[in-house]
Amino acid sequence: MNAFDSDQDRVVHLRAQIVIHNEAYHGRDEPTVPDAVYDQMLRELAEIEERRPDLLTAESPTQMVGSAPSEIFAPVEHKAPMMSLDNAMDLQELQSWHERVLKGIGDPDSCGLVCELKFDGLAVSIRYEDGELVQAATRGNGRVGEDVTHNIRTIKDIPHRISGAPEVLEVRGEVYLPISGFESLNKEQLAKGQPLFANPRNTAAGSLRQKDATVTANRKLAFWCYQLGEVIGGPRVKSSKDTFELLKSLGLPVNPEVAEFSDFKEVERFCESWMSKRHEPDYEIDGVVVKLADLAQREALGSTSRAPRWAIAFKFPPEEKSTRLIAIDVSIGRTGRVTPFAVLDPIFVGGSTVGMATLHNEDQVANKDVRPGDIVVIRKAGDVIPEVVGPNLADRSADSKPWVFPKVCPSCQMPLERLSGDANTYCVNRRCPARIETGISYFASRNAMDIEGLGERTVRSLVEQGMVNDVGDLFALTKSQLMKLLVSDSSNETLVNNLASAIDEARERPLGNLLIGLGIEHLGPTAAELVARQFRNIDNIVRAEPRDIESIDGIGPVIAQSLRDFFDDADNKAIVEKFRVNGVRLDLADDEMDLPQVLNGRSVVVTGSLDGWFLTRDEAKRSIVARGGKAPGSVSKSTYALVVGSEAGQSKLDKATDLGIPIVGEAEFRHLLETGELS
């Protein structure tokens, strides 16, 4: 492979990964990688594009901000883009930025700099007209955000009306959840027996994007404003100092930790000072924002397509803390994969308490040489994934011994296997209790048989008591059995009744859902629906030869052989018979068979989450297939329409726009499923 190909391939890979992480962070408020990892990926991409300008496109993540706005809320087009900031990961990079600024303005003696804390919250724009709050929006993709006006009105820091305000006043700032409020909220969750929130930033973002404003109001969010957007009819503002004085005079909340310097050394000292006391405020910060103080100089320097040249974010390094590694244990997944994880003395790091951290596989444990009893360094950058960095060897006891990966499964005591060339180790015993438990949980999950109330603890009890040996046994359970097993007091009787009802309702789930729940390797939701509609019942599928399965448009030889192998297995055939005996539907329902094939031959792509709509994304794809259509994973010239959910993939949106493919929301999608036509 030549250098050209190597660069091009790396750019394609990086862009795809960054888009995914953008959607998770900005769209779902569920970051999937640490900030430091994301920043490094973005930086690498920018470096390649700088070296190879022929690979730079307008759609590159380096040229864009945030993610696509959610369709749950009305879109708001920003009068001026809400841009992101470039990052300086250390003082040397901050110095380099400063040198570029000095060169750009051409007058080093007049370069005043203002330092502000970088809040870890959700950027918003709030618009006042004649002093009245008329609109609030999230940043979205920088150009178009989400209308969150009703929710913004519930935040006490934000006035609904401002006396003496300009004719039009747009203020920009950060919605956040105070740490004390976050802790109180989790105490309430704990008292209610409900899941705890992960960290203040994600909680704040999720709270602001609630359909029900009363939920937002109960979260006690707060707000700092730091910038002006569109202003009509107000006083002339020439500097950062003027900006903050105007905001404060209008009664808008401004963070007190703002400082202006003419000496760059003072800027460095400010950054270092706040790095050491980052946990002192009652709000989360992850860096310092450094800006030119003079607004005319800002305008002269201008911006790139995604970030101003006159400002930069000095990012604090990933937070690391030390704690004791109590033990190393392993978990067994439904496929038999064995994953080691560290059991830690709980430590608060990166915005949440960490008690466990994955160690991935045997090789990772060996390479890091972490051992039970070690004092280990834990990193949790971006409040996302806890990582064991490594041990503190100076604190290691003299009698410490390397951890040895188990040779037998801790659940079933059968030998574990690791194939040549595979980093993972497996329990191949399909009767392994741990595998059975995870398999039943998967079977009961929302996108499969959707058996509400069949949680992990209940599944474990059923397996341990010998009441359930596989998913087929679920439908033989009686209410009296569940009562004996699960009812410790009268208050639990309702839960048992609900679970019994949920199991009963699951008997009538579509055949496609049943196939998904069986966990057949390589068989996804769309393929399951195709197979179900082609063969109409489970018996035809069991008898089908690979060539018959492969003849289905959209089904390849891998899936075909996987289906054949699954139903050749005697244990799996026995599960099917248990379904039959216990009244589980094994064929297409009449209403499924009678669906008009209005999408015959048409490709409809679904992107984003449809949760909260009338169906999930997987269900949407199955609905398309059930009407004769195709539901591929990517947009192409042959795509008839792109259905957009709440965190739509930016790359799919961009490609659909470039190709002139219709982009539809919920109402249009309903119409499409009913008629086969776009409204």
Mean pLDDT value of segment 189-210: 77
The pLDDT score that the predictor gives to residue 34 is: 59
Mean pLDDT taken over the chain: 84
Residue range 255-304, pLDDT digits in tens: 999 999 999 999 999 999 999 898 889 998 989 999 999 999 999 999 87
Point out the catalytic residue in the list 118, 368, 380, 630.
Answer: 118
Checking if the pLDDT of 614 tops 70, the result is no
More confident residue, 15 or 400: 400
More confident residue, 26 or 655: 655
Secondary structure (3-state) at 288: strand
Please, which pLDDT band fits residue 619 given cuts at 50, 70 and 90?
confident
41/476 Cα distance (integer angstroms): 51
CA-closest candidate to residue 226, choices 303, 161, 306, 285:
285
Residue range 316-343, pLDDT digits in tens: 887 788 999 999 999 998 888 898 999 9
Mean pLDDT value of segment 411-419: 92
CA-closest candidate to residue 251, choices 357, 163, 362:
163
The pLDDT score that the predictor gives to residue 234 is: 84
Residue range 77-103, pLDDT digits in tens: 888 888 888 889 889 999 999 999 999
Share of the chain above pLDDT 70, in %: 86
The pLDDT score that the predictor gives to residue 25 is: 52
385/31 Cα distance (integer angstroms): 9
The pLDDT score that the predictor gives to residue 161 is: 92
Checking if the pLDDT of 218 tops 90, the result is no
More confident residue, 668 or 514: 514
**Is the separation of the CB atoms in 446 and 513 below 8 Å?**
no
231/250 Cα distance (integer angstroms): 13
Mean pLDDT value of segment 556-577: 92
pTM greater than 0.85: no
Please, which pLDDT band fits residue 350 given cuts at 50, 70 and 90?
low
Residue 429: left (phi > 0), alpha (psi -120 to 50), or beta? beta
Secondary structure (3-state) at 144: strand
141/10 Cα distance (integer angstroms): 24
Residue range 225-239, pLDDT digits in tens: 999 999 999 889 999
Checking if the pLDDT of 645 tops 80, the result is no
The pLDDT score that the predictor gives to residue 193 is: 67
Please, which pLDDT band fits residue 4 given cuts at 50, 70 and 90?
very low
**Is 118 in the active site?**
yes
Checking if the pLDDT of 132 tops 90, the result is yes
Beta-carbon-side half-sphere exposure of residue 257 (alpha carbons within 13 Å)? 20
Q: What is the CA radius of gyration of the chain?
A: 28
326/342 Cα distance (integer angstroms): 8
346/323 Cα distance (integer angstroms): 8
Checking if the pLDDT of 549 tops 80, the result is yes
